[in-house]
């Protein structure tokens, strides 16, 4: 300890002498605090790519085989793969993987890998078309009724198996304009279960109709399927399921569906009368 203090004092005296000499020579001398921060330079990693994240959920042999090929790629190719393919770049990316994987893998493993990659690109392309984005899981709001009626263990096991087999959620997480979840609660629960910080979501809306069998009659409620959302208006006739079978009813009103109670799931409208089945 004493030795260290003496060394520090010598260094301080030496610095002071150097400053005096520099000032005597007319130089501008200033003291600044400097901190040395370690910097680690790492190249693009396999899990920085959408393919790497996807193969992480595939069987280990396939994952390891593609990973080994990734290690042999040039820095430029690795960097390109770190960004999700944009429109117009999918074909070039497929060709890159074909060029690198085909000579390196057995035929069966090669076709399995390319099938998985193509499936991933289709998902990304659909995300572009449907206007999906990613958001922190903690920012998703949940209506109380979802907690009141959790999915059955059997349904959750089915969703877990799909995630394991395909590397993606079976159901989209769909939010309304206020950021509340309106569909995909099982995917939300799986993301929480696995500690996933941010998840892919898309925005949509759910609508219900109030309709009657005859003018002046009692109003009943059905939910519109996603394909008919925004396509049905008051006065339209729609085909629905009832306790007495399939019937045609007239729409009295269309409104936004807000799942505020734990009531059972409503029947879906089958189609608009005159529209495709």
Q: How many CA atoms lie within 13 A of 70 on its CB side?
A: 24
Instruction: Please tell me the predicted confidence (pLDDT) of residue 276.
Output: 53
Sequence-distant (≥ 6) Cβ neighbours of residue 189 within 8 angstroms: 150, 151, 156
244-246-247 Cα angle (round to 5)? 90
| Per-block mean pLDDT, blocks of 10 residues, the chain (277 long) | 74 77 80 73 80 86 94 92 77 94 95 91 69 82 88 94 90 85 94 92 87 92 86 91 89 83 70 70
Q: Give the global pTM.
A: 0.49
- Assess contact for 231 and 273: CB atoms under 8 A: no
Q: How many CB atoms lie within 10 A of CB 162?
A: 17
Instruction: Please tell me the predicted confidence (pLDDT) of residue 262.
Output: 45
Please state, in angstroms and rounded to a whole number, the distance separating the CA atoms of residues 220 and 49.
50
């Amino acid at each position: 300890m004493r030795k260290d203090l003496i060394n520090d004092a010598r260094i301080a005296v030496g610095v002071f002498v150097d400053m005096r000499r520099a000032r005597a020579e007319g130089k501008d001398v200033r003291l600044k605090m400097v901190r040395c921060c370690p910097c680690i330079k790492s190249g693009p990693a396999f899990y920085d790519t959408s393919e790497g994240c996807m193969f992480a959920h595939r069987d280990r042999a396939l994952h390891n085989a593609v990973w080994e090929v990734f290690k042999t790629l040039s820095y430029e190719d690795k960097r390109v793969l770190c960004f999700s393919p944009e429109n117009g770049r999918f074909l070039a990316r497929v060709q890159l993987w074909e060029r690198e994987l085909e000579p390196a893998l057995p035929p069966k493993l090669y076709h399995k890998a390319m099938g998985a990659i193509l499936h991933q690109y289709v998902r990304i392309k659909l995300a572009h078309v449907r206007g999906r984005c990613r958001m922190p899981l903690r920012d998703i709001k949940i209506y109380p009724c979802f907690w009141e009626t959790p999915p059955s263990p059997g349904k959750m096991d089915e969703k877990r198996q799909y995630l394991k087999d395909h590397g993606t959620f079976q159901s989209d997480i769909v939010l309304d304009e206020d950021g509340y979840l309106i569909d995909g609660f099982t995917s939300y629960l799986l993301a929480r279960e696995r500690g996933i910080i941010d998840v892919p979501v898309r925005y949509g809306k759910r609508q219900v109709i109030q309709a009657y069998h005859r003018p002046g009659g009692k109003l009943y409620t059905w939910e519109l399927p996603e394909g008919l959302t925004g396509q049905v208006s008051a006065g339209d006739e729609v085909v629905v399921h009832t306790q007495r079978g399939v019937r045609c009813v007239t729409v009295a009103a269309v409104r936004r569906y807000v799942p505020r109670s734990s009531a059972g799931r409503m029947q879906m409208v089958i189609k608009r009368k005159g529209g495709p089945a």
